[in-house]
Structure 1
């Protein structure tokens, strides 16, 4: 395909000055305003910015209420039924296990989603407020304000902020646990080796921590204290990780907008304070706090967590792993780890691989002990410890249990649905919880206590858990097992460190990008949502990107279909354009960087390439997409990349239909403030091509080569 060279220096400079060199007033909230665009809805009910308006009237609010209620109704029509999921989900193992659950009489996520239809229009529009006991209130043409006087803009903004604050708390708790583990390992309270010593030293230097002639434990302890201070600071002060690792162009932007956080704890406190009854009545102020929460999530919930994880457990390396349900093997003590916290998991895997415990398993009649990963616990472990096999993301965890092959299911925190207990009980799979934060009814508890007073007993806890797995294996003899025969190899463990190791620097990646062999780089991540066909949106978006020579980075729940369907091994190049294939050589077209906090690895690669180009992130042909996102952390993850100046793209809409101002702020207003916007399209093929088109525009602005046209999906021939 031919390419054209473009020189857009004049127009790009003008656009840049208009968008990023405008005057900032003293208070950042003054920049959050309505441009008075007209809000419309596409044929699937997705809010869109349709027209720039230069008049001052607000228009007919009653008509808008009617419009968005109609739009919500149209949006609901895009939701797939369970039968449509069965017909269209890409993984044959998922199809087989849904059918098996049917035969056994179990509900799945997809059954329960069907039973919830039609979901509440007011909730989907974000205009249901149940913050105080005068309510709940809803916005209608008859009642355009709540009992306290809150209008649709305020109610939608408050609900969105509370979700974002919950996301900060969730990733923040994950971060706190790992940072504490690093601190306690350094201080001798936790008997774990510090494996990522070079990572600790490199990051410590960025913080100005003295490293020469100091033990790694002293360096690690001081670093952990700084990260914990950023997590929980009460007295306002410098957010040290942002100051140390934030890009200068971004820090200046955030400072002008007055969205630099005080600490993660503080911003969650403030979010719930602001949104409490009779407190902050200005939707713009609420959305400013939304942005602060996004930064706290990004730097304390993600970056700090990744530093501590890589520092304590090592960065890992590119490795090959078996993936999917077919990798389960009968006759072993089969143990699944499910959740996000690596400290106890690392010790459980270590103990279970010791000869003493393998011998005990064999004496019980097993061939040995095998470990499997569900959600991020598996993704974190798979490129650090040999033999941890990733099976599924959170939505299909109960399908994995339905095989009857698991003896022990170890659940810690987040994305562990209570529905797993019914299936586990049927197959007599022992479920244990390891965190006091996240218990399941009927599960056994092998936990760190609330004050972590037993952190020094990590080894003992791990030994008890392995012994419980062996005991469960003996107790479950005769339980029927059905394992669909689908497994594949996946390459995992990509990181900035690996890119430097493989290419020598980020330079070759930048050069391939500038030359056009790689059109752009996209971080494809997120959770899953039954509002779209399970895992299909992820695959369809990936196909649209790859056939247009876009390199994909992935992590978390969204990475599972990419692994299971072969995109994370060299055979995935069958989906890629010629330029991308030429650059990749023996590498897969989708680079799996790890668990959800490993968005840090993705942003590290993107920042490294931008640095080679001498450009800011918002200028580069990069994008973020979470096609099937669903949970609170997903709101913050997308926001984190938009705060970096990178657009986010989704097939699922947020609960914002009811607020013209919040819609405009997210889909247009942040372009001026941050250099990025949120884009939603329920059609994954169309969404993928929007990403491609926007990346082409970025390349034009840089004066880089662009293709003559977008490569579209080949239409299937239908014989009549």
Structure 2
């Protein structure tokens, strides 16, 4: 440790120890239990937030905590296996980072300019430029939100460009979602009669791309066409309607630059605009484009978890978020030509697996893409030694996977110009997508590398924990409405109390809490209280792996919910990848309309217990913008800013109808969700 580092740590400890007598006070806990919303550090200043952060840091999980309490025995076995062979994991690295910086956790560290970094302490309550804690924290928060818009926006851009290229004849992929294209075009007021699917796809892509990149003030067409009128009026009144996704990210970085916007309230207004841009371009437009190209998919069953890995096959994992090239890789790999090539190399065939969202998008569209793990568990999957090829595109692909891949001679291929890994082979679209016509060639080369890697890895030992389960996947608004003859049945079940409420449980994983434990603990409490769960994205993996998404999982539900499920449906409805939050919100809207109430008044909740990244910050904000409270076991970095923390956890109840609720105890968090759902039921006059 350097002299400066020792000084920094000592300085931080002095502030903590000087105030050991301070009364600890958890605002999130108070909000959750209807207590006083005032913040202790409004009066106590820096001492109180440092104390609060110190208490929060004590809740962080250790590697041993994960070994002792992980709900997935396959995770435990693979952690021990990795330790045995001397490979570090995310859990080792998290422990090595302790104690995490209190100033960073509280959000009161500013490094926007080179006069700093500045931090808020009793000696220095303002940064060099004069920024106080609220301004520093709000600027950091807005930059995180803008980054989330850019991340999901980049996802949307590739999908919408692919849709446009298909329409122009540059990309030789079929349009499998013609019905979806025509439905959305009608919603946008695009004439569909006498128009081919390709022509309509091109028009739709142009409208959605305009919302992504419009430079001049105008209507955000996706919001205008698809958002509830009640919400549009709320957003108009708050003056938070965005111009375009690009514009809001551009403006976010401009106004948080040196000496620009000095009012934390103005910063937080832009934060809300970013939330809308994230929702309607990063999520809704991405979902529309994906469904237009690849269809909405269908209900299916899938094997899940590491035990589903097959020995003797060319095993290929897809990892990331972008579906265009993945769809072609899967098609090529399943072709008779390449299955025969694999057999000539000594394999039984080619098998595809998925990590993170790439597989969640593929598994209900292409049979046999087996989901294995979210991003945090990727190293554990590689540590089995069973993977021949790892195909990584963008987001949630940690650089540490290369260390494990080298150990097991697994070939890693990157497929996006935006995301490279040192030591990986690169077969990708270029920065301008000028080689989009080469999609099939790229896919053929990538699958060929998988076969070659299989042949070169015959001496690698394989260790596969014997844990797998069958899950029901592929729920969407269309097949749910078909199952029940519309949304009226679900509305009636909510009103009668057969279903007490519905929670959309999504988000990332985070080693601050015991890996996947928080998701499972929250789910257990909700289900036994007759609350139906929707899920997608990384948080869905423990629910997939541990039987919650199977019909047999109904045994985890309360008697009333079991009666509703009638032995035909699981208690957790899996809707796909992270952009498939659109599916959940569409169902929420359909049920609310059938019940005759606004979404904000319904017994709904959004939960991302283990959120960790910038996209997760935006995802919860998107649901709060619709008036649905969000619930978490991980604090945002705002504890050093009383006004900003109050804005997130209290003030938006009046303006948006929803707040952010945080409790590091997942079971206590679940009880708060249940209590708030019951309040909503009482307000509606339901049993």
> Normalization by structure 2: what TM-score?
0.95
**How far apart are 1:504 and its partner, in Å?**
1.4
Decide whether aligned partners of structure 1 residues 573 and 663 sit closer, same or farther in structure 2, where only a CA change above 3 A counts. Answer: same
- The correspondence of residues 446-525 of structure 1 with structure 2, limited to 5 A, is 446-525=427-506
Counterparts of 1:290-305 in structure 2 under 5 Å?
290-305=271-286
CA contact (8 A) 1:182 1:308 kept: yes
Contact 1:44 1:75 in 2 (8 A): no
- Is the Cα contact below 8 Å between 1:45 and 1:75 reproduced in 2? no
Query: 1:194-233, aligned counterparts within 5 Å?
Result: 194-233=175-214
For residue 541 of structure 1, what is the aligned residue in structure 2?
Answer: 522
Q: Which has the higher contact order (CA 8 A, sep 6+)?
A: 1
Could you tell me which residue of structure 2 aligns to residue 715 of structure 1?
A: none
Match of 1:66 among 21, 35, 47: 47
The residue that corresponds to 1:668 in the other structure is 650
> Which residue matches 1:574?
555
Give the aligned partner of residue 282 of structure 1: 263
Task: Give CA-to-partner distance per residue, 1:188-242, whole Å, 9 cap, x none.
Answer: 1100000011001001000000100110111111001000000000011000000
Q: In the TM superposition, what are the counterparts of 1:41-440 in structure 2 within 5 Å?
A: 42=25, 51=36, 63-440=44-421
Distance 1:615 1:170 in 2: 33
Matched positions, count: 663
Secondary structure, aligned partner of 1:384: coil
Q: What is the distance in 2 between the residues matched to 1:59 and 1:335?
A: 53
Give the deviation of 1:371 after TM superposition. 0.1
Q: Distance in 1 between matches of 2:679 and 2:515?
A: 31
**Cα 1:60–1:94 shift into 2, 3 Å:** closer
Q: Deviations over 1:562-615 (max 9, x none)?
A: 000000001111110111111112100000000000000000000000001111
TM-score by length of 1: 0.91
In structure 1, how many angstroms separate the alpha carbons of the residues matched to 2:410 and 2:668? 42
> How far apart, in 2, do the equivalents of 1:491 and 1:669 lie?
40
Counterpart for residue 574 of structure 2: 592
Pairwise CA distance, 1:51: 2.9
Structure 2: gaps spanning 5 or more residues: 1-21
SS of alignment partner, residue 212 of structure 1: coil
CA 1:596/1:40 → structure 2, altered by over 3 Å: closer, same or farther?
A: farther
Give the 3-state SS of the residue equivalent to 2:575 in structure 1. Answer: strand
Structure 1 segments (4+ residues) deviating >6 Å: 44-47
Question: Counterpart in 2 of 1:696?
Answer: 678
The superposition leaves residues 396-433 of structure 1 with CA deviations (integer Å, 9 ceiling, x where unpaired) of 00000000000000000000000000000000000000
CA deviation map 1:323-372 (0-9, x unaligned) = 00000011100000000000000000000000111101000000000000
Contact 2:352 2:370 in 1 (8 A): yes
- Counterpart CA distance in 1 for 2:680 and 2:309 is 45
CA distance in 2, matches of 1:451, 1:399: 35
Larger deviation: 494-503 or 279-288? 494-503
Offset of 1:40 from its aligned partner? Answer: 9.1
Closer, same or farther in 2 for the Cα pair 1:460/1:59, shift >3 Å? closer
CA shift, 1:624, in A, is 0.1
RMSD between aligned residues: 1.4
1:320 match: secondary structure: strand
Closer, same or farther: CA 40–584 of 1 in aligned 2, 3 Å: farther
Matched residue of 1:322: which SS?
A: strand
- Report the alpha carbon displacement of residue 75 of structure 1 after superposing the two structures with TM: 0.6
The 8 Å contact of residues 28 and 661 in structure 2, kept in 1 or not, is answered as no
**Partners in 2 of 1:91 and 1:492 — Cα distance?**
19
| SS of residue paired to 2:352 | strand
Q: Is residue 616 of structure 2 the alignment partner of residue 631 of structure 1?
A: no
